[in-house]
Amino acid sequence: MGGKGTQEDIEVWLAEGYVTSFRTACLILGNRADAEEAVQEAFLRAWRFRTSLAPGSDVRPWLYRVVVNTCNSKLRSEIPHRDRRTGDGDLDRLAAPGDGPAHVEQSGDLVRALQSLAVHLRVVIVLRYYADLSEREIATAIGRRPGTVKSRLHEARRLLAMHPALRSVDDLAGPTDSEVAE
Amino acid sequence: MTMIDEGPLRTLIAEAADEFPVTEGAVDRIAAAASGGNPTTGSVRTIVPHGRWGRAALVAAAVVIVAGGVTLLDGTPGTSPDHGTVAGPSTPAIGVPGAVPSTTVPSGSTMPFANQGPVGTAASSAGAGQPANGATSAQPAPGQNGGPSLPAPLPTGIVGQPTKVATTGSIDLALGHNPLDPAVTRLTTIATGAGGYVAKSALQVGPSTGTVPSSGTLVLQVPQAAFASVLTQVRSIGTVTSMTSTSTDVSGQYVDLQARIDALQASRLQYLTILSKATSIGDILSVQNQLDTIQSQIEQLQGQLNLLDSQTTYATLTVLLSQSGHRPPPPTATPSGLGRAWHQSVSGFTSGVEWLVRIAGRTLFVLLCLAVLGVAGRWAWRAWRRQML
């Protein structure tokens, strides 16, 4: 992703970043409709304020920052005040045990486990392992220091490993801390 | 404690994300909406921050601006409102015709003699015919025998007249255990030697000294021009515990009296002319009556003029002598040129440090306020940016 200012640029942004951004928002919000709305809003905001991006800087973390902030705004202001049944439906569809292939059940478990995390931990996990941002890029995206990102990632992985929905998933358990130390 | 492996977690998250299908046409809707909007400039600052040097330069500039502002508010170094600052709209050079120095002293403050300027050069900012307020200075000077400023030549006054200045002074001398009589004798000698005289003398006998006087008051009348030198000699007699000097410019009053006398004399001459031409007894008596009135007024004004003359010709110095004062410390020797320069440099350094300490409080306060504002502004800015993006 790069460039800014022309119609082609926004099309490049969308072509390269919409799907990832949308699914990132889905994983953060756990709801397709909210994610779609958030990403649309985020892209329009980013396009409107595209001149605020410093020349020569990378668009990707900046765009993710806009997306994350929009998701946070929705989680803070809109979603808590409305019926969550739509979101639960999405999760039910993903996580219904025995209703589909094993990887679908695992996906549902993962999304459920992600939703159990605090938002700030969920965001760093999704940005790191789905959007494939480096820790430094995540730091730029969430406006924190790389050390904070690292500790949040550690904490999120630890909590995910303890989550009951993911304990049944094979091959997820990594080495213990003592093993890592060794 | 275990953690989830990164590889499987990455795979699982990717699979979970793939389960969210992308809505058809969503990208086109965004592109269409974006194509209709112009970029908003100036609303959001650059997210990627400036370099550290840029920030440091901004902070340094802010500190310089604050320090400069505080300095301007505080005034220049060495100027303090606590020191009877000589101030006035203008201070023209002494001796220039028509130029009279203007010197004011804040009420309730004292002004050292060293800062007073020429003794006997009265302050007056008034125009022709306007009497001026006098300038008063007082200085408690325990244990100091430094010489006062020598008088400068009297400035030429208004309308071509020499400036008429009435000077009075008072000085308290502590003689310690020295007897009073030699001091009185020496004061008399000083007064007569300068062309003046002792106008009043009063000596008191203290309870502890028997019949020997222990304190006294002498009023010396000395010529104006010799006032400063007399003051210097008087100060050498004992320890100065306080000193006051008042100079009043009476030039305007003097000129006014002279003008009124001249006018009355002109009227008197006219009445005399009329009197010489009068033929009837009634006319003669009437004119004579007017002449008497005018003559009386002339004599009255002339008396005031003579009094002013006397006051401006002779300065009055009241000397209070006392044996009860403490013995002063030995006077320090006048430093040599190098020593004086060293003392001046130390004094200048001390003044500079005092100035720094004085403005440091305000500067720190302003910087603290700016820091609080900066933190609050940064917090608000981040909150707003989170809201906007």
- Predicted confidence (pLDDT) per residue in A47-81, tens digit: 888 777 777 777 788 888 888 888 888 887 766 66
* Mean pLDDT computed over B322-337: 59
pLDDT of residue A168: 63
Residue ranges covered by each domain of chain B = 108-120+133-328, 360-389
Please indicate, yes or no, if residue A89 is contained in any of the structural domains: yes
pLDDT in tens, B81-129: 444 333 333 333 333 333 333 333 333 333 333 333 333 333 333 333 3
- Measured at the CA of B318, the angle between CA B316 and CA B321, to 5 degrees, comes to 155
pLDDT in tens, B186-204: 899 999 998 889 888 888 7
pLDDT of residue B182: 85
Please indicate, yes or no, if residue A178 is contained in any of the structural domains: no
Strand-pair partners of B323: none
Please indicate, yes or no, if residue A57 is contained in any of the structural domains: yes
Interface test with B, best of A48, A70, A72, A170 (most B CBs within 10 A): A48
pLDDT of residue A59: 79
Residues of A in contact with B32 (CB under 8 A): none
**B13 with A129: CB under 8 angstroms?**
yes
* Mean pLDDT computed over B362-368: 88
Flag whether residue A159 sits within 8 Å of chain B, measured between CB atoms. Answer: no
* Number of domain units in chain A: 1
Flag whether residue B277 sits within 8 Å of chain A, measured between CB atoms. Answer: no
pTM of the model: 0.40
Interface test with A, best of B5, B6, B9 (most A CBs within 10 A): B9
Q: How far is B73 from chain A (nearest CA, A)?
A: 39
Please indicate, yes or no, if residue A60 is contained in any of the structural domains: yes
Flag whether residue B20 sits within 8 Å of chain A, measured between CB atoms. Answer: yes
Flag whether residue B41 sits within 8 Å of chain A, measured between CB atoms. Answer: yes
| Residue B30's pLDDT band (cuts 50, 70, 90) | confident
In chain A, the residue whose alpha carbon lies closest to the alpha carbon of B3 is: A158
Closest partner residue to A27 (CB to CB) among B13, B382, B386 is B13
| Residue B161's pLDDT band (cuts 50, 70, 90) | low
Asked if pLDDT for residue A38 goes beyond 50, the answer is yes
Residue from A65, A57, A51 nearest A139 by CA: A65
Residues of A in contact with B33 (CB under 8 A): 40, 44
Residues of A in contact with B384 (CB under 8 A): none
pLDDT of residue B54: 67
Mean per-residue pLDDT over chain B, rounded: 72
Residues of B in contact with A126 (CB under 8 A): 13
Q: Bigger pLDDT: B158 or A75? A: A75
Domain membership of residue A39 as a residue range: 7-173
pLDDT of residue A124: 93
Closest partner residue to A48 (CB to CB) among B8, B10, B40 is B40
Q: Say which range, A20-24, B245-249, B370-374, has the weakest mean pLDDT.
A: B245-249
Q: Bigger pLDDT: B9 or A50? A: B9
